[in-house]
């Protein structure tokens, strides 16, 4: 019987628990013995590895976060600690490890795979940032987008009641994907992301005209990457002459009940990962590309820069275009 393990690393996402459940269920189904590594790479170093049972995953499919915890590990960046991690895996007879995480976690996984040839490593893109090259979707993004949508819809209620501008800061690390999709799907008037150059003078001309025509409130979505949320609030106060407030959504974007989409994606990602381990693939990341789940080389995923899809970016550029002037 083949022993395979799973761990979560980096920022948690809603859908990780659904992935853990599928991991246990499908591993048993395929005649494999599933193991959990608690607390990410930290737990791998500390030998927090234990056999998983059906009862461990009962009732967790609808819960956000991750039952087996996650971590960011400085120790794991040192090869001496990675050697300990490998010894721990061998001690439990583990021949395959599935890593749920972002590009940082995959860089770590790549190092581990280069340092041994008796264990297979499979990554599953899991980050709300949706910033991993080679995959069009990362687990947790849909739930995060829905958490943001709920927040913006609520803010719109009070913004319209008071006639204020709200500047809402959205996560995403260096990537503007969450901010852009949220702005497009919530009818925001402004969207500032690192991938699209913007000109506040253009916005000013447009917004003053809209105010003249009767617009009483504004919703602005700003990516955390720009680090200018407070300045934009001040800009609304001073240049648009409207009372303004700032909302930093923060970690509420990382939690909550996983959406149906994330539960289904977890199912497919894990199924593909276990199939790859069964076939003896040594080092890969499962990517979602044009409706298919494909195994790609870690180097083509973790070490390449993610670019937002051109069609989506084109929509982002429309924020400063004339049709937005009509109120």
Ligand X SMILES: Nc1ncnc2c1ncn2[C@@H]1O[C@H](COP(=O)(O)OP(=O)(O)OP(=O)(O)O)[C@@H](O)[C@H]1O
Ligand Y SMILES: O=P(O)(O)OC[C@H]1O[C@](O)(CO)[C@@H](O)[C@@H]1O
User: Which residues, in sequence order, are CB contacts of 268 under 8 Å at separation 6+?
Assistant: 288, 293
Tell me whether strands 120-125 and 94-101 are parallel, antiparallel or unpaired. Answer: parallel
From the list ligand X, ligand Y, none, pick the one residue 113 interacts with, judged by a Cβ distance below 5 to 8 Å according to partner type.
none
User: Which residues, in sequence order, are CB contacts of 253 under 8 Å at separation 6+?
Assistant: 128, 144, 147, 148, 170, 171, 178
From the list ligand X, ligand Y, none, pick the one residue 101 interacts with, judged by a Cβ distance below 5 to 8 Å according to partner type.
ligand X
105 is in an annotated binding site: yes
Q: Identify whether 129 is a catalytic site residue.
A: yes
Structure tokens at 33: 């013995």
Site membership for ligand Y, residue 11 (CB under 6 A)? yes
Site membership for ligand X, residue 135 (CB under 6 A)? no
User: Candidates 28-36, 100-108, 156-164, 287-295 — which segment interacts with ligand X by CB under 6 A?
Assistant: 100-108
Q: Which is nearer to ligand Y, 195 or 224 (CB)?
A: 224
Other CB atoms within 10 Å distance of the CB of residue 111? 14
User: Candidates 30-38, 54-62, 73-81, 126-134 — which segment interacts with ligand Y by CB under 6 A?
Assistant: 126-134
Rounded Cα distance, 93 and 301, in Å = 28
Q: Which is nearer to ligand Y, 70 or 88 (CB)?
A: 70
Site membership for ligand Y, residue 272 (CB under 6 A)? no
User: Which candidate in 129, 131, 142, 262 is catalytic?
Assistant: 129
15-74 binders of ligand Y (CB under 6 A)? none
Dihedral angle, C-alpha 315, 317, 321, 327, nearest 10 °: 50
Rounded Cα distance, 161 and 100, in Å = 43
> What's the closest the beta carbon of residue 52 comes to ligand Y, in angstroms?
25
Which residues are identified as catalytic? 129
């Amino acid at each position: 019987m083949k022993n395979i393990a799973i761990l979560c690393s980096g920022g948690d996402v809603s859908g990780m628990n659904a992935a853990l459940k599928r991991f246990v269920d499908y591993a048993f189904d395929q005649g494999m013995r599933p193991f959990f590594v608690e607390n990410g790479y930290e737990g791998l170093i500390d030998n927090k590895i234990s056999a998983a049972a059906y009862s461990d995953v009962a009732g967790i499919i609808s819960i956000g976060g991750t039952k087996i915890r996650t971590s960011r590990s400085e120790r794991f960046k040192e090869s001496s600690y990675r050697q300990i991690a490998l010894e721990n895996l061998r001690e439990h007879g583990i021949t395959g490890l599935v890593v749920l995480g972002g590009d940082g976690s995959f860089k770590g996984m790549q190092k581990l795979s280069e340092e041994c040839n008796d264990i297979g490593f499979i990554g599953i893109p899991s980050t709300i940032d949706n910033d991993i090259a080679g995959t069009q979707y990362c687990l947790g993004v849909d739930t995060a987008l829905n958490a943001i949508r709920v927040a913006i819809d609520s803010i719109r209620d009070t913004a319209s009641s008071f006639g204020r501008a709200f500047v809402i800061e959205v996560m995403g690390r260096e990537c503007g994907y969450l901010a852009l999709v949220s702005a497009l799907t919530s009818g925001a008037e402004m969207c500032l992301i690192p991938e699209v150059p913007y000109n506040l003078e253009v916005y000013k001309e447009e917004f003053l005209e809209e105010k003249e025509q009767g617009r009483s409130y504004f919703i602005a979505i700003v990516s955390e990457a720009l680090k200018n949320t407070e300045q934009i609030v001040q800009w609304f106060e001073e240049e648009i002459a409207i009372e303004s407030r700032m909302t930093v959504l923060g970690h509420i974007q990382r939690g909550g009940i996983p959406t149906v989409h994330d539960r289904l994606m977890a199912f497919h990602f894990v199924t593909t990962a276990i199939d790859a381990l069964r076939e003896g693939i040594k080092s890969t990341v499962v990517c979602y590309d044009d409706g298919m789940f494909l195994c790609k080389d870690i180097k083509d995923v973790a070490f390449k820069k993610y670019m937002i899809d051109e069609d989506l970016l084109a929509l982002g550029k429309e924020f400063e275009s004339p049709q937005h002037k009509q109120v």
